[in-house]
């Protein structure tokens, strides 16, 4: 399925891209194997090599944790999982010589460094209130992550042409089936 929405701005685009590396409605997953993961990372400008099994599993788990966090279905569980990722990959919040906040990785490079950089983006976007615009499609079969540019910040579907229309048609049929 082709999504008409434009991508998330700035660094949020990296989180959106990772989450959408699995297109559930199309049963596609760019991170299915360590080799396909390495190819996806290269396509996104990251020369990290082919991840080993542990790194591959870390990235898959992180992707789904971010998606759950954005969906807000179980905030306590996703917060606990994000804290575990932060504990294992982030060195702690610091400030640069220019006075900018920095969330540095424990180890530079590799999948752990990539996860740490994404945690920094997630953390900063949360503080700035930008994260609330990054949403997960409400269709449980889709769960595509999109940036909500609507003035009211009330979009719930990745696309009204697909998921929104399907939901409306199901609701219509349900209402008329009882008559």
Contact between 137 and 70 under an 8 Å Cβ cutoff? The reply is no
Is position 158 within any domain?
no
Q: What is the pTM of this model?
A: 0.87
Is position 152 within any domain?
no
pLDDT at 173: 57
Place of tokens 């396909």: 36
Residue 64: domain span: 12-134
**Domain total of the chain:** 1
Q: How far is CA 146 from CA 17, 73, 177, in A?
A: 9, 16, 33
Residues in the chain where the model's pLDDT stays below 70 = 1-4, 160, 164-179
β 101-102/134-136 pair status: unpaired
Q: Express each pLDDT in 10-38 by its tens digit.
A: 999 999 999 999 988 788 999 999 999 99
Is position 47 within any domain?
yes
Is position 2 within any domain?
no
Q: Express each pLDDT in 126-140 by its tens digit.
A: 999 999 999 999 998
Is position 155 within any domain?
no
- The CATH number that applies at residue 44 is 1.10.3300.10
Is position 108 within any domain?
yes
pLDDT at 68: 96
Is position 150 within any domain?
no
pLDDT at 179: 61
């Amino acid at each position: 399925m082709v999504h008409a929405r434009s991508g998330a701005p700035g660094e949020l685009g990296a989180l959106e891209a990772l989450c959408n590396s699995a297109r559930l409605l199309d049963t596609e997953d760019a991170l299915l194997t360590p080799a396909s993961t390495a190819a996806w990372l290269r396509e996104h400008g990251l020369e990290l090599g082919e991840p080993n099994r542990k790194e591959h599993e870390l990235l898959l788990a992180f992707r789904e944790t971010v998606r759950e966090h954005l969906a807000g279905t179980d905030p306590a569980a996703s917060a606990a999982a994000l804290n575990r990722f932060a504990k294992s990959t982030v060195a702690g919040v610091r400030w640069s010589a220019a006075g900018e906040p920095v969330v540095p990785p424990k180890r530079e490079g590799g999948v752990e460094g990539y996860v740490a950089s994404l945690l920094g983006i997630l953390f900063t976007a949360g503080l700035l209130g930008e994260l609330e615009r990054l949403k997960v499609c409400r269709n449980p079969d889709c769960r595509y992550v999109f940036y909500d540019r609507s003035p009211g910040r009330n979009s719930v579907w990745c696309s009204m042409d697909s998921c929104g229309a399907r939901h409306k048609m199901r609701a219509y049929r349900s209402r008329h089936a009882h008559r």
